A and B are shown apart, each in its own frame.
Chain A
Amino acid sequence: MIYSNWWKYTGVVLVLYSLIGGLLFVNPNNLLFLDETVRNLNYHVPMWFAMISLLTISVASSILYLKTFNEKYDIIASKSAVVAVFFGLMGLATGSFWAKFSWGTWWTTDYKLNGAAIGELIYFAYLILRSSVEEPSKKARLSSVYSIFAFPLFVVFTLILPKLASNSMHPGSGDTVGFNKYPLNNNLRITFYPAVLGWIAISWWITTILIRIEFLKSNKYSDEN
């Protein structure tokens, strides 16, 4: 998957489609206070999907590292986390901007919002932990163990706790109107799902570039081809 190209171009085509379609094909009227901003569904939400899929890859390779002690998996785990944190920041920024013009505030003490912020901090701690240990194998082992604890916490804070909350404003959590309850939801879906898949592919593409650079540094590329 790291060295093939077809999925990169598939991702690009899907995102292109969603960029155009999000503005032209979707017809978002009658969506309460959201008005036209519901188009952000195609741009804000895929950031989080990209983040979570990269974190899944990260924790899976952390487990593989602890099983095999192959340096390769530690590189994959750390670089996936780096790109995941970047996409998470994009998600926070776009979400905050969207909130300003639909809820009237940049930030509010909402379960989903604070959960996402805490999740982001958990992975900041992961990156800081990595940079604070000098010895490579110790660094890899410590951060792999940390990552196995971090991932379930991230899922709890961003997905499970907001679902349990009764007074969250963010769609898809608690008793708020979710994606499924909006009118014209099928119209939104035609660009939303391609956007999610496309951004997952592009985020993984960026990750593979970072991974390959690290492989080159440690001469790991040869047993990969």
Chain B
Amino acid sequence: MKIKLFLILLLSFLTKNLFAQTTQNPFYTNGKIYVVVAVILIIFTGIIIFLISIDRRLTKTEKELKENNKKD
């Protein structure tokens, strides 16, 4: 019995949460502008991570070449 009660309570909390999402979640407010902001941020972060990885690869190559030159 207790488990049933617990489940009912749990599920009711879950549904309450779902209703709250549609009304309070910022992604549904202000004409959904936050969705646009999020998309722009994903693209920009992607480009920056790409740029950082290029930068790191370049630093690695520079170090390798430097060490090779020392050996010569």
Contact = CB atoms under 8 A, between A and B. Distances in A.
Given A19-B41, A20-B41, A219 B51 contact: no
Contacts of A212: 58, 62
A107 interface: no
Contact of A205 (B40, B41, B51): B51
Interface in A19-43: 19-20, 23-24
Given A219-B69, A221-B65, A209 B37 contact: no
B18 interface: no
A209 B58 contact: yes
B54 interface: yes
Interface of A, helix, strand, loop or mixed by DSSP = helix
A221 B41 contact: no
A23 B41 CA distance: 12
Interface SS of B by simple majority: helix
Interface residues of B, number: 17
A137 B69 CA distance: 25
Interface in B18-72: 33-34, 36-37, 40-41, 44, 48, 51, 54-55, 58, 61-62, 65-66, 69
Given A23-B40, A216-B62, A222-B69, 19 more contacts: A12-B48, A16-B44, A19-B40, A19-B44, A23-B33, A23-B36, A24-B33, A24-B34, A205-B51, A205-B55, A206-B51, A209-B51, A209-B55, A212-B58, A216-B58, A221-B65, A221-B66, A222-B66, A225-B66
